[in-house]
A and B are shown apart, each in its own frame.
Chain A
Amino acid sequence: MNQQFEYINPQSLDEAVKLAGQGSVYAGGTDLLGLMKNDIAHPQRLVNLKALPELKAVERQKGKGLRLGALVTLNELAENEMLQKDFPAISQAAGSAASPQLRNVGTLGGNLCQRPRCWYFRGDFDCLRKGGATCFAMDGENKYHCVVGGDGCYIVHPSDMAVALLALEAKLEIYGPGGQRLLPISHFYVLPEDDPTVETVLQPGEIITSVIVPEQPVGSRSVFVKFRERSAWDFAVVSVAAALQVQNGAISGGKIALGGVAPVPWLDKKLNNTLAGTALDENGINKIAASALTDAEPLEQNGYKVILARNMIKGVLQSLAG
């Protein structure tokens, strides 16, 4: 790496927040170091959060649900037996990210805040998201780009965790100079139409400290499925997370979230409106799948993602029905 910076180990969360105002929060670093190597990020200061034990807990309290510290690593999530049993979408999403080595280092908070993988954004292109004038993917090489929600910028959000947590209707605890705030994950991500240069609403100095996952109603089932071109170390072409309640063979509540289709983890309105009351039989499953991405506007090379997403939704529902 050809950059110079200072590396600080804050002793408390308050100190970290104070320091982070003029630097970058640094946890696993798997994304930030990549951005620095690619000359996209140039922090003068790395504020290392790894020494703060309060960010590393996995707790479950009756009635309050699950609290996952932002510094918990992806492998810790993937291997947690309680999660595997009661929140399988979380452990499945964590286990499908990148590779064992990166999952040992990458953290939950970092995964949620990672920047897009768009090859123009990461490459030597002065694109809209980096403050340039144009999106090169729009009429360029766009088979991995978004089919919905793009507006001037056509990235997809790369986080697998975010998709699972969106289906589980998780909330994020955010701590910053202005104190603590609690934000539904559905309000955390920013569409390009609002600001194409950022992905989240985090303000300078703000840190995700933990993720709160509500206790799922009795009879709930969750699942996360990721489709990638290569069997490992690959980002999702499309991912589907479902957290659904099923009663008497029909869906009674819950959400399906999609990854790889939009600049943010995507809650398709029509799809989610179709869920409640629909039977988990062949007709019902087909009906739900067909309701997904009806407002998609694919680019030249990514129309297949619509079919892929619908087929994956079918597969997910069949697995929940079975």
Chain B
Amino acid sequence: MADKKVIKSRYFFEEDFEEQLAEVPAEKVAAWDKKAKLKIVGKGVDRYDAYDKVSGTARYTFDIQLPHMAYAKTLRCPYAHACIKSIDVSQAEKMPGVLAVLTADNAPKIKWYRGTSYLFDRHLRYAGDEVACVAAKSERIAAQALKKIKVEYEVLPFVADAGKAMQPDAPKLYENGNIAGGKPSVYERGNADEGFNRADVVVEETFDTQVVVHNPTEPHCSVVNWDGDKLTVWDSTQSVFGVRNALADSLDIPANHVRVIKKYMGGGFGSKLAAGKYTIMAALLARTIGRPVKISMDREEMNLAVGNRPDSVQKLKFGAKKDGTLLAMSHYSYGAAGAYPSGAGCSWPLRSIYKCPNVRTEEYTVFINAGPGRPFRAPGHVQGTFALEAMIDTMAEKTGMDPLDFRLKNYSEIDPVSGQPYTTKRLREAYEAGAKAIGWENRNKKPGSDSGVIKRGLGMASQIWWGGGGPPTYANLKMNRDGSVEVLCGTQDIGTGTYTILAQVAAEVLELPMDKVSVILGDTAVTPYAHGSGGSVTAPSTTPAVRHAAELMKEKLIGYAAAQMNLPPERIAYRSGELVDRDNPAQKMSVSALMRKVREQVLVTTGMREANPEGYAVNTFGAQFAEVEVHTDTGKIVVKRIVAAHDIGRTLNRKLLENQFEGGIMQGIGFALMEERVIDRNTGKVLTTNLENYKMTLLPDMPEIEVIIVSDADPLLNNTGVKGIGEPAHIPTAAAIANAVYNATGVRFKSLPLTPDKVLQGLYGGVKQG
């Protein structure tokens, strides 16, 4: 079992397939059987870190204070597009308590945004771009100093709308124009035009979705501390190794001089997957002033400068036979990356979920003068699923079919993109279970037929995502002389429960109570490599590595016990923390008794995530069903119920799983009904810079939520049979709500969010009246 090999590993992460070399076990640990009777895995055990979090004693990066620590604040460009003509920091530097000021004049030229810009660039491409960074004795002094910096700007024409930015006469953000890569990303299978020609029913519709902002509660923040030429950074990040690499590269120092630590963090949702400028700026300032530096974004900066989900305009054309067989789908879309590279594509669900021989997609990622996008909980899928599933419902209606029957008619048993079989696909079961739970037969057979001011409707949407994870991911397991165990893994718990599930897996294999296992995550100096926490890859990548490490530890203990007990290893069994002679069960010794004979005092094993199975597509599937009330007098939509039925492999912890699904659904409700970044069209400045104007759901917006898991496990994928759930939970919610609103009103709303003004407009026609 200890043998290993190096492979080319390839799996999907957030926006693309990633290929990398990885060490994997030569021989896989046999997967837990689907029906395996596990004692701890699968149980709703309490969250490992709950005590620290409910008692207020959990220390987040935001809470860290070091002796002699200084504070940094950033000056941001007030214009949507400008060039710096000159900066005068002399007044700021003279202020008592100001320690250092960084600008394009004195900062090293550090490339940023994939080389399109610099850490401090004189060309400022959005209102919020970094101009200067001040370190001072207190955050207040730093903030006051920002006002003393005199910047002379040359204000440039701007464009803050992707459609306008694609026009030839639009102001250009880059010499090569505003379309990323200069051309669209195109996917084609079969011949879509031919398919449309043969179709009995052809429908064309345009949909659009808004920019939304991650707004995790803990701001993006770092605390940096130099000790000689060694740098320690506490960062609220989803990727400690990513941040370490960015720091080492930017500062041109060896990677082993940088230690990045993340213990607890207040959410990320994708916005903390990459290193931020602020961390580098703090490190530069700290080196200059010889003091630790803390830098935290305020809520305005959170809404301007640390990422968002790009918007989309999607033109879809679908053709089907009379009997509902999909013949062709085409998808043309564009979306705003913001001012710097990020992905705005959204056609993956359309390409991959239904059986359709002729598909063409054409996607433009467009630069505009606004804050750059970053992956946000299932990048592209949330926007794409909204439009796709609305079109599917429309096609069902046009062909006289029940929306569910239409989906089943076009069900794909294999991955239509690769032609490969799936490791598992239980979407059919999800449809069935969800429909039963919501009472699908109670929907309005004729949309909008519900009488009364408050109209009720049911809708549903399908979900596809990857979420299988893969190598490289490693975990170390330490067995201490008292029989207690430490699991070390370079992943991060971003609030999803990674600490808990890894402790569960180790406790399961070693048959120990949970409190014998401690878990250390997110520290580049002590934890072995794991991927950034995103893409729903964390659980399926890390739990098999931990299980592998624990199985190796069991083997190792048996070896030690055999030597101690003078028996061949085959005679020794590991049972509940004891090593037992199989032939004479009365002869046994506890792990701690054995460990006292081990002078090493601590035994260490390294587990590895095994290779993914070759020749298979790995996906998660699901369906969500929504019941809504549309108040036709006010335009208010109230989500009454959501049923989420999903195929996500093995359930590791029912309590945490439900919680994450509920959370994904709540964010889906926000996306469907209220969240929207608003930019003033005349100045290009963001108006939704606080949590009053950027509206997210609160507790009273919560519907009744039922989570149904239709899968038992995916033993073909990995040894725990686990897939990720973070993104699947969120993908179909808005689409299901929008379809339910159509069922309630008979009016198809094609623009998110479904705010009361739009709903009234849709129900009453043009509303400009007086």
- Cβ of A315 within 8 Å of any chain B Cβ, yes or no, is yes
Stretch at the interface among B553-561, B577-585, B697-705: B697-705
CB-CB nearest in chain B for A235? B692
- Residues from chain A with a CB closer than 8 A to the CB of B26 are none
- Cβ of A170 within 8 Å of any chain B Cβ, yes or no, is no
B769 and A303 contacting across the interface, CB-CB below 8 Å: yes
A141 and B760 contacting across the interface, CB-CB below 8 Å: no
- Residues from chain B with a CB closer than 8 A to the CB of A232 are 698-701
A2 and B698 contacting across the interface, CB-CB below 8 Å: no
Partner of A147, one of B756, B760, B770: B770
A308 and B695 contacting across the interface, CB-CB below 8 Å: no
- Residues from chain A with a CB closer than 8 A to the CB of B695 are 229-230, 234
- Cβ of A143 within 8 Å of any chain B Cβ, yes or no, is yes
| A229-B674, A231-B698 known; A298 vs B688 contact (CB < 8 Å) | no
CB-CB nearest in chain A for B687? A119
- Cβ of A120 within 8 Å of any chain B Cβ, yes or no, is yes
List which A280-319 residues lie within 8 A (CB) of chain B. Answer: 293-298, 300-304, 306-308, 311-312, 314-315
List which A101-151 residues lie within 8 A (CB) of chain B. Answer: 117, 119-120, 122-125, 136, 139-141, 143, 147
CB-CB nearest in chain A for B670? A230
Fill in one digit per residue for B44-83: 1 if any A CB lies within 8 Å of its CB, else 0. Answer: 0000000000000000000000000000000000100000
Stretch at the interface among B84-92, B151-159, B675-683: B675-683
- Cβ of B331 within 8 Å of any chain A Cβ, yes or no, is no
B685 and A124 contacting across the interface, CB-CB below 8 Å: yes
- Cβ of A188 within 8 Å of any chain B Cβ, yes or no, is no
- Cβ of A233 within 8 Å of any chain B Cβ, yes or no, is yes
- Residues from chain B with a CB closer than 8 A to the CB of A227 are 634, 636, 756
| A229-B674, A230-B695, A233-B698 known; A143 vs B770 contact (CB < 8 Å) | no
Distance A123 CA – B634 CA, assembled complex (angstroms): 28
Distance A146 CA – B689 CA, assembled complex (angstroms): 21
List which B129-151 residues lie within 8 A (CB) of chain A. Answer: 140, 143-144
Partner of B633, one of A140, A235, A311: A311
Partner of B755, one of A117, A229, A294: A229
B634 and A139 contacting across the interface, CB-CB below 8 Å: no
Distance A46 CA – B756 CA, assembled complex (angstroms): 40
Query: How many Å from the CB of B504 to the closest CB on chain A?
Result: 36
- Cβ of A49 within 8 Å of any chain B Cβ, yes or no, is no
- Residues from chain A with a CB closer than 8 A to the CB of B761 are 303-304
Query: How many Å from the CB of A282 to the closest CB on chain B?
Result: 13
- Cβ of A237 within 8 Å of any chain B Cβ, yes or no, is yes
- Cβ of B290 within 8 Å of any chain A Cβ, yes or no, is no
- Cβ of B764 within 8 Å of any chain A Cβ, yes or no, is yes
- Cβ of B767 within 8 Å of any chain A Cβ, yes or no, is yes
A120 and B633 contacting across the interface, CB-CB below 8 Å: no
- Cβ of B256 within 8 Å of any chain A Cβ, yes or no, is no
- Residues from chain B with a CB closer than 8 A to the CB of A297 are 770
B687 and A2 contacting across the interface, CB-CB below 8 Å: no
A304 and B757 contacting across the interface, CB-CB below 8 Å: yes
Distance A1 CA – B298 CA, assembled complex (angstroms): 12
B768 and A141 contacting across the interface, CB-CB below 8 Å: no
Distance A298 CA – B761 CA, assembled complex (angstroms): 14
B140 and A139 contacting across the interface, CB-CB below 8 Å: no
Distance A302 CA – B769 CA, assembled complex (angstroms): 10
B760 and A298 contacting across the interface, CB-CB below 8 Å: no
A119 and B770 contacting across the interface, CB-CB below 8 Å: no
| A229-B674, A230-B674 known; A312 vs B698 contact (CB < 8 Å) | no
A2 and B770 contacting across the interface, CB-CB below 8 Å: no
CB-CB nearest in chain A for B673? A229
- Cβ of B659 within 8 Å of any chain A Cβ, yes or no, is no
CB-CB nearest in chain A for B632? A311
CB-CB nearest in chain A for B298? A37
B634 and A141 contacting across the interface, CB-CB below 8 Å: no
B687 and A141 contacting across the interface, CB-CB below 8 Å: yes
- Residues from chain A with a CB closer than 8 A to the CB of B769 are 296, 298, 303, 306-307
B698 and A123 contacting across the interface, CB-CB below 8 Å: no
- Cβ of B693 within 8 Å of any chain A Cβ, yes or no, is yes
Distance A139 CA – B633 CA, assembled complex (angstroms): 27
- Residues from chain A with a CB closer than 8 A to the CB of B688 are 119
Query: How many Å from the CB of B307 to the closest CB on chain A?
Result: 21
Distance A231 CA – B756 CA, assembled complex (angstroms): 13
Distance A233 CA – B688 CA, assembled complex (angstroms): 15
B768 and A136 contacting across the interface, CB-CB below 8 Å: no
A124 and B78 contacting across the interface, CB-CB below 8 Å: yes
Query: How many Å from the CB of A312 to the closest CB on chain B?
Result: 7
Fill in one digit per residue for B720-764: 1 if any A CB lies within 8 Å of its CB, else 0. Answer: 000000000000000000000000000000000001110011001
- Residues from chain A with a CB closer than 8 A to the CB of B689 are 123
CB-CB nearest in chain B for A294? B770
- Residues from chain A with a CB closer than 8 A to the CB of B699 are 232
Distance A84 CA – B635 CA, assembled complex (angstroms): 28
List which B648-678 residues lie within 8 A (CB) of chain A. Answer: 674, 678
Query: How many Å from the CB of B528 to the closest CB on chain A?
Result: 44
B636 and A293 contacting across the interface, CB-CB below 8 Å: no
Distance A302 CA – B755 CA, assembled complex (angstroms): 12
Fill in one digit per residue for B149-174: 1 if any A CB lies within 8 Å of its CB, else 0. Answer: 00000000000000000000000000
Query: How many Å from the CB of B658 to the closest CB on chain A?
Result: 22
CB-CB nearest in chain A for B766? A303
| Most B C-beta atoms less than 10 A away, residue of A136, A293, A311 | A311
A304 and B756 contacting across the interface, CB-CB below 8 Å: yes
B767 and A141 contacting across the interface, CB-CB below 8 Å: no
- Residues from chain A with a CB closer than 8 A to the CB of B635 are 304, 308
B767 and A303 contacting across the interface, CB-CB below 8 Å: yes
Distance A294 CA – B680 CA, assembled complex (angstroms): 29
| A119-B693, A231-B701, A294-B770 known; A314 vs B633 contact (CB < 8 Å) | yes
| A234-B695, A308-B756 known; A141 vs B678 contact (CB < 8 Å) | yes
A230 and B682 contacting across the interface, CB-CB below 8 Å: no
A231 and B678 contacting across the interface, CB-CB below 8 Å: no
Distance A117 CA – B690 CA, assembled complex (angstroms): 12
CB-CB nearest in chain B for A301? B757
Distance A39 CA – B456 CA, assembled complex (angstroms): 46
B767 and A306 contacting across the interface, CB-CB below 8 Å: yes
- Residues from chain A with a CB closer than 8 A to the CB of B140 are 1-2
CB-CB nearest in chain A for B753? A229
A315 and B755 contacting across the interface, CB-CB below 8 Å: no
A308 and B760 contacting across the interface, CB-CB below 8 Å: yes
Fill in one digit per residue for B178-195: 1 if any A CB lies within 8 Å of its CB, else 0. Answer: 000000000000000000
B768 and A303 contacting across the interface, CB-CB below 8 Å: yes
A293 and B634 contacting across the interface, CB-CB below 8 Å: no
Fill in one digit per residue for A58-98: 1 if any B CB lies within 8 Å of its CB, else 0. Answer: 00000000000000000000000000000000000000000
- Residues from chain B with a CB closer than 8 A to the CB of A140 are 680-682
- Residues from chain A with a CB closer than 8 A to the CB of B680 are 120, 125, 136, 140-141
B767 and A125 contacting across the interface, CB-CB below 8 Å: no
| Most B C-beta atoms less than 10 A away, residue of A230, A234, A235 | A230
Distance A235 CA – B693 CA, assembled complex (angstroms): 10
A136 and B683 contacting across the interface, CB-CB below 8 Å: yes
| A227-B634, A229-B756, A230-B697 known; A306 vs B770 contact (CB < 8 Å) | yes
- Residues from chain A with a CB closer than 8 A to the CB of B767 are 303-304, 306-307
| A140-B682, A143-B757, A308-B756 known; A233 vs B692 contact (CB < 8 Å) | yes
| A141-B687, A314-B633 known; A307 vs B770 contact (CB < 8 Å) | no
Partner of B770, one of A1, A120, A295: A295
13 extra interface residue pairs, beta carbon distance < 8 Å, beyond A1-B140, A2-B144: A119-B687, A122-B690, A140-B681, A141-B681, A147-B770, A229-B636, A230-B697, A234-B692, A300-B768, A304-B760, A304-B761, A307-B764, A307-B767
Q: List 13 A-B contacts (CB under 8 A).
A: A123-B685, A124-B78, A140-B680, A141-B687, A230-B697, A231-B701, A294-B770, A298-B769, A304-B756, A304-B764, A306-B769, A307-B760, A307-B767
**The 5 A-B residue pairs with the shortest CB-CB distance in the complex, in nearest-first order:** A231-B700, A296-B770, A311-B633, A303-B768, A119-B687
- Could you list which residues of chain A lie within 8 angstroms of chain B, going by C-beta atoms? 1-2, 117, 119-120, 122-125, 136, 139-141, 143, 147, 227, 229-235, 237, 293-298, 300-304, 306-308, 311-312, 314-315
